[in-house]
Structure 1
Amino acid sequence: MTEEVLEPDLPICDPHHHLWDFPNGRYLLPELLADIGQGHRVESTVFVECGAFYSAVKPQPFRFVGETEFVAGVAAMAESGRYGPVRACAGIVGRADLAQGASVTEVLAEHVRAGGGRFRGIRHAGAWDASPEIRVSHTEPPPGLYGLPAFREGFAQLAEHGLSFEAWQYHTQIADVAALADAFPETPIMLDHVGGPLGIGPYAGRRDEVFAAWAADIADLARRPNVWVKLGGLGMATLGFGFQKREVLPSSAELAEAWRPYVETCLEAFGTGRGMFESNFPVDSVSCGYGVLWNALKRIAAGCSAGEKAQLFRDNAVRFYRLDL
C-alpha cells in the first residue's frame, strides 16, 4: 500500500533500523535508501545491531566488532554524497557480551575504534519468556540477564567509554530495566520498542490485561531520568495485532488507531523530551511499508506542537546519540 506523504517537510532522524544480508532476506543501503525515497524527509539514521556481519576471523569476544566495521563502511558510503544527502548510519549501536564482565572493556574499545567516531552504544538484548511460543532474543539470554552480577560488571564499563545502553526485553521484564537504571543512574538507557508488550502465545486475547500491567511499569520506569523510550516497533508480530497475516496491509489511519494508546501512554510518562519515533525497519515491514509507517506516526503526533514534533521526529535522537551532523 502506498499513500500520499503527510507533512513531507518535517525533518526526521530514524533512530532504529537494521542492515543485513541473510538467506531469507536482504536489507542493505540500497534497500534503506529506497524506503527513505518514498517521500518522508529522513535526513539521518541510527543503525542498531541485528546479528549481521560478525567477523569470522576475530577472536570470540571481538567477533561482534565485525558488524560495526561493516556499518561504518556503509556510513562512509552515505557520507560520500554519491547516494544522496541522507546521512545513513550516522550513529551506530553494536553488540557486546556484557555478561563477560569487566574484560568486555577491551571489546568496547574496539567498537569505538571501528566506528570511526560514530559508535554510540551497546545493545545486549535480554528478551526472554518462559513460554515456548515466545521467541527469545537473538542473543539467547538467560532469564533475569540484566540482574546478573557478571552482566552488571560488564555494564559498568559503558560509562568509561561514554556509551549508552539499549534495552530490549518484553513487557514482563520492564522492572529489570528499572532496577538497572537505579544501579547505574549516570548511564543513559534507551528502552526499545515501547518496552515490548506481548500479544501472542499465552498473552493472546489478553490485550487489556497486558496493557494495564505494561502501562503501570512504563509509568514507574519513566521516573528514572536516565531512561528514554523509542516509540515504535509496534508493527512486530509479537504484539499480536496480526497485520502481517492480512492480504492487504493496513493503512496509516488504521495503524495509528491501533498504536496510539501505546505511544500516548509513553509520552504521558516520559514527556516529549525523552521519546523518539523509530521505524524498526525492516522488522516492522511485515505490517506496513516505510512510508505508511511514518504517516501513522505523524497521525499519532498530530496534536503535538511544532516544537514537540521536532523533538520526537529528529532532535531527541540527535541529542541522545550525539550525532555529528
Structure 2
Amino acid sequence: MATQDLIDAHHHFWALDGSVHYPWLEDEINPHFFLGDYQAFRRPFQAPDIKALVPKGYRLVGTVHCEAEAERSDPARETSWLTEHAERHGLPVALVGWADFASADCEAQLEAQMASPLFRGVRAKPVTAARPDQVGEIVGQPGSLRDPGWTRGLRLLEERSLSWDLRVPAWHLEEAAETLEATPALEVILNHTGLPWDRSPEGLAQWRRGMHRLADNSRVTVKLSELGSPMAAWDEQANIAILAEAIDIFGPERCIFASNFPVTGLNASYATWLAMVERAIAQAAPQARQRILHDNAVRCYRLDA
C-alpha cells in the first residue's frame, strides 16, 4: 500500500521553558477546562514529538499550529517562537495566531504577526454559554458573537485576507453563521467538528442545524477534530458516525483532517484518532481520502504544496 501524505491542520506546540508563557499550563490548573483534568499534557510538546506519533503508512508533510492560549499581553511572541521552531524542525508549515478583537491594538497585533511567513489567520474565541439553556444570557454581551466590536475584528481579518478559526460549542453555530453574513469574503475554518458536546437527541439536532447553516456559506471549512465532550463519555463508534455526518453535511471538498494533539491524547492515541477519521472517510466519501487528509488543508491555509 502506498504511503499517504498527511497534513495535520490543528495541533499545539509548547516548550514550557520560558520561551512563551502559557498561564493555563504553567501556573494554576484551569478548573473549567472542557475535558477535565489535563495534567497528562502539561509537559513540552514539539515537532519531534508529533512526528514520532504518526503511524506507519503515512508521511507527515506539514502541520498547522493553532494558538494555544499563550500569555495574551504579547500575541506576537508565540508567533515568533513558532517561526523559529519551524526553521529548526520543519514544522509547523503554517500557524494560526491570536489577536484581541476588543482592543484598539488589534490592527497592530495583526500587522506584527503578518511579518511571519507562516501566519495565516487568527483564532479568537468569542464569549459563549457553558450550556445550551444559557445562550440567552450571553447574546449581545461584550466579546460575544453579536458584539459590534467582535464583528469589527472579523472585518480586519477579511480586509487582510486572513482566515478565522471559529471555535464555539454547537449551540452557537447558527448564531455564528448569522454573524458571518457581515463578512462574506472571510475564509473560516470551523474547529473540532462543531463541538457537538450535547449528545442528547435534541443536542445533536441542534448541532445538525448549525452545521447545515454554516455549510451554506461556501467560505466555511470544517476540521474533523476533537470530539471529546464535557457532557458525554468518549464513544468511538458514535464519534465516527459524527465525523461521517460532518463530511456529508459539508461535502468532502470542505473537510480537513486535524488531530488537536496533544489535547486529544486524553481520550485517544494519534493513531487511533487518525484511524477513526479514516473510517469516517471510508463511510462517507471514500474517493476523497487524498483531499481530506492533504489537499483541502493546502487550499484552506494557503500552503506550499
TM-score bucket of the superposed structures, by smaller chain: 0.7 to 0.9
Cα-to-partner distance string for 1:144-165 (whole Å, 9 max, x where unaligned): 6121111111221112322000
Counterpart residue number, 2:29? none
Residue 53 (structure 2) pairs with residue 35 (structure 1): yes
Residue 238 (structure 2) pairs with residue 238 (structure 1): no
* Local SS of the residue matching 1:186: coil
Residue 64 (structure 2) pairs with residue 46 (structure 1): yes
- The verdict on how the C-alpha distance between 1:305 and 1:130 changes in structure 2, with shifts beyond 3 A counting, is closer
Counterpart residue number, 2:84? 73
Counting matched residue pairs gives 274
- The verdict on how the C-alpha distance between 1:258 and 1:307 changes in structure 2, with shifts beyond 3 A counting, is same
Counterpart residue number, 1:128? 128
Is the 2:120–2:162 Cα contact (8 Å) retained in structure 1? yes
Counterpart residue number, 2:304? 324
5+ unaligned residues in a row in structure 2: which ranges? 17-24, 27-41, 135-139
Separation of aligned partners in 1, 2:63 and 2:211? 26
Counterpart residue number, 1:9? 3
Counterpart residue number, 2:241? 261
Counterpart residue number, 1:202? none
- The verdict on how the C-alpha distance between 1:306 and 1:168 changes in structure 2, with shifts beyond 3 A counting, is same
- The verdict on how the C-alpha distance between 1:108 and 1:164 changes in structure 2, with shifts beyond 3 A counting, is same
Counterpart residue number, 1:94? 97
Letter of the structure 1 residue corresponding to residue 232 of structure 2: G
Is the 1:144–1:176 Cα contact (8 Å) retained in structure 2? no
Separation of aligned partners in 1, 2:231 and 2:192? 11
Moved more, 117-126 or 141-150: 141-150
Cα-to-partner distance string for 1:22-44 (whole Å, 9 max, x where unaligned): 34322122322221366532211
Is the 2:4–2:57 Cα contact (8 Å) retained in structure 1? no
Counterpart residue number, 1:219? 212
- The verdict on how the C-alpha distance between 1:47 and 1:164 changes in structure 2, with shifts beyond 3 A counting, is same
Is the 1:127–1:168 Cα contact (8 Å) retained in structure 2? no
How far off its partner does 1:306 sit? 6.1
Separation of aligned partners in 2, 1:309 and 1:173? 29
- The verdict on how the C-alpha distance between 1:207 and 1:143 changes in structure 2, with shifts beyond 3 A counting, is farther
Is the 2:244–2:283 Cα contact (8 Å) retained in structure 1? no
TM-score with structure 1 setting the length: 0.78
5+ unaligned residues in a row in structure 1: which ranges? 1-6, 80-87, 135-140, 200-205, 244-253
Separation of aligned partners in 2, 1:8 and 1:145? 46
Question: Identity of counterpart residues, as a percentage?
Answer: 27
- The verdict on how the C-alpha distance between 1:215 and 1:9 changes in structure 2, with shifts beyond 3 A counting, is same
Separation of aligned partners in 1, 2:188 and 2:285? 26
* Local SS of the residue matching 1:230: strand
Separation of aligned partners in 2, 1:239 and 1:17? 23
TM-score with structure 2 setting the length: 0.82
Counterpart residue number, 1:163? 162
Counterpart residue number, 1:145? 144
- Cα RMSD (Å) of the superposition? 2.4
